[in-house]
Homo-oligomer: A and B are copies of this chain.
Amino acid sequence: MRSKALLIAFVLAAAAVADVAPEETGGSAVTPERWGAHAFWASDMLLRRSALFDADSATMLGSVYGGQDLSPVLPLGSAARRELYVASTYYSRRTHGERTDAFVIYDARTLAPVGEVVLPPKKAANGNGVALAALLDDGRFAVVFNQTPASSVSVVDVEERRFVSEIATGGCALVYPAGPRRFGMLCLDGSALAITLAADGSEASRSGSAKFFDAASDPITEKGVRLAPDGGRWLFASFDGMAHEVDFAAQPAPVAKPAWPLVTDSERADGWRIGGHQHLAMHAASGRLYSLMHQGGADTHKQAGTQLWLYDLAQHARERTIEVPNLAASALRDLMELPAGGVLDWLLHAAVPNPGATNILVTPDAEPLLLLSTHEAPVIAVLDARSGELLREVAEPGIAIGLLVAP
């Protein structure tokens, strides 16, 4: 040790003749100029963050952390402003003390906080995290859903970085972006509500659809998918596998098309159902819908899927079935630091029960990737979204993966 300790004293002299050149300290990376078509966020319920990954290289590009609330951290992205927005609940003593709900603004390249807007302390929080906040299409206003359990929406002006107003929303919940200054909500009476904001962010108008589903007998899940990058068209699936297409932007009021079945009578007889925490995915450009399916009884609407069913939306026709790979076996292999593709890996995949997948995402580009994860195992599978071929896995994406989100 003496000699080791002495070494240090000569670092200055040494630096000049080093074979590996002395390096700068103090630097922080930034995210790439373009994130790429296959970048995605994976939220973590335990680390309370979303990490940005590149599905091509299976590498992590950065991360954004939230507050203390139960909900997954889902950054809203503004391409125009190159900003990210995360609404969170904070306490002065982490788990107790004074509550502050804040809409924190991050620079999208440095991922550093650059501002915040304090919100009414009413932010909704839940374990699925779907549709709790949205940036409307013109990029000026964000809406944050409140549930105390009274339903309302907090409106934030991201340009002036100020809280605008709170809008009471009665028996309707969640927020689905549906136009430049419009968002949709789902209501307990089986209808859809659309609210349009004025130029100042206040409520300009609201209109409700006719009842198109029954919240008691066959409710649609919150886990809908938007059918285009903008506009008001969303698709929701009911517990019994009916696909409900809703246009929140229709005039004079939201309209739902006639529902169509994701499962045939014979498939339903075999017990095939939708299920999972994020069980639908949409590839808008090709009009392809992905649905996580499993065989189970009533009340299994959160059960992991064993298969992915791929539909041609226009034809309402199923085109392909993709088997869900065994993510638990892969995670265990990584945990035990065994090589992928080895004999032990094969044994694990044969021995460990396949938990299926609870969450799916399809990238929006022309060569789409399909991302799969489960709450049961910390690994994310990357598949070719068209062929269903398993291309690679993202190891150690976190500890308790929540939602997969496109930037």
> Is the CB–CB distance between A217 and B90 below 8 Å?
no
> Is A92 in the interface zone, CB < 8 Å from B?
yes
> Is A5 in the interface zone, CB < 8 Å from B?
yes
> Is A1 in the interface zone, CB < 8 Å from B?
yes
Chain B residues contacting A34 (CB-CB under 8 Å) are none
In the bound assembly, the distance between CA atoms of A5 and B216 in angstroms comes to 8
Chain B residues contacting A96 (CB-CB under 8 Å) are 113
> Is A352 in the interface zone, CB < 8 Å from B?
yes
> Is A104 in the interface zone, CB < 8 Å from B?
yes
Return A93 CB to nearest CB of chain B, in Å.
6
> Is A295 in the interface zone, CB < 8 Å from B?
no
A258-292: which residues lie under 8 A (CB-CB) from chain B? Answer: none
Chain B residues contacting A165 (CB-CB under 8 Å) are none
Q: A1-15 vs B: 1/0 string, CB under 8 Å? A: 110010000000000
Given A217-B2, A336-B352, A399-B399, also A100-B92 (CB < 8 A): yes
In the bound assembly, the distance between CA atoms of A165 and B217 in angstroms comes to 66
> Is the CB–CB distance between B46 and A399 below 8 Å?
yes
Return A99 CB to nearest CB of chain B, in Å.
12
Copies of this chain held together in the complex: 2
> Is A354 in the interface zone, CB < 8 Å from B?
no
A273-319: which residues lie under 8 A (CB-CB) from chain B? Answer: none
Return A401 CB to nearest CB of chain B, in Å.
14
Considering only CB atoms, which chain B residue lies closest to A239 in the complex? Answer: B1
- Residue in B2, B90, B216, B353 whose CB lies within 8 Å of A94: B90
Considering only CB atoms, which chain B residue lies closest to A6 in the complex? Answer: B216
> Is A130 in the interface zone, CB < 8 Å from B?
no
Given A2-B216, A216-B2, A217-B1, also A93-B90 (CB < 8 A): yes
> Is the CB–CB distance between A102 and B94 below 8 Å?
no
In the bound assembly, the distance between CA atoms of A48 and B102 in angstroms comes to 23
Return A379 CB to nearest CB of chain B, in Å.
14
How many chain A residues touch B (CB < 8 A): the figure is 28
Chain B residues contacting A336 (CB-CB under 8 Å) are 352-353
> Is the CB–CB distance between A67 and B94 below 8 Å?
yes
> Is the CB–CB distance between A65 and B46 below 8 Å?
no
Return A38 CB to nearest CB of chain B, in Å.
28
Chain B residues contacting A1 (CB-CB under 8 Å) are 216-217
Chain B residues contacting A104 (CB-CB under 8 Å) are 93
> Is A251 in the interface zone, CB < 8 Å from B?
no
Return A323 CB to nearest CB of chain B, in Å.
22
Chain B residues contacting A48 (CB-CB under 8 Å) are 94
- Residue in B5, B93, B102, B216 whose CB lies within 8 Å of A93: B102
In the bound assembly, the distance between CA atoms of A96 and B104 in angstroms comes to 11
Considering only CB atoms, which chain B residue lies closest to A214 in the complex? Answer: B1
Chain B residues contacting A216 (CB-CB under 8 Å) are 1-2, 5
Chain B residues contacting A92 (CB-CB under 8 Å) are 90, 92, 100
Return A131 CB to nearest CB of chain B, in Å.
23
A88-137: which residues lie under 8 A (CB-CB) from chain B? Answer: 88, 90, 92-96, 100, 102, 104, 113, 116
Chain B residues contacting A100 (CB-CB under 8 Å) are 92
Question: What are the 6 tightest A-B residue pairs by CB atom distance, in nearest-first order?
Answer: A1-B216, A1-B217, A65-B95, A67-B94, A5-B216, A90-B93
Q: A residues near B, CB below 8 A?
A: 1-2, 5, 46, 48, 65-68, 88, 90, 92-96, 100, 102, 104, 113, 116, 216-217, 332, 336, 352-353, 399
Instruction: Give 17 new A-B contacts, CB below 8 A, not counting A1-B217, A90-B94.
Output: A1-B216, A2-B216, A5-B216, A48-B94, A65-B94, A66-B94, A67-B94, A88-B94, A90-B93, A92-B92, A93-B102, A93-B104, A93-B113, A96-B113, A332-B332, A336-B352, A399-B399
What are some 13 contacts across the A-B interface (CB < 8 A)? A2-B216, A65-B94, A66-B94, A88-B93, A90-B92, A90-B93, A90-B94, A92-B92, A92-B100, A93-B104, A93-B113, A336-B352, A399-B399
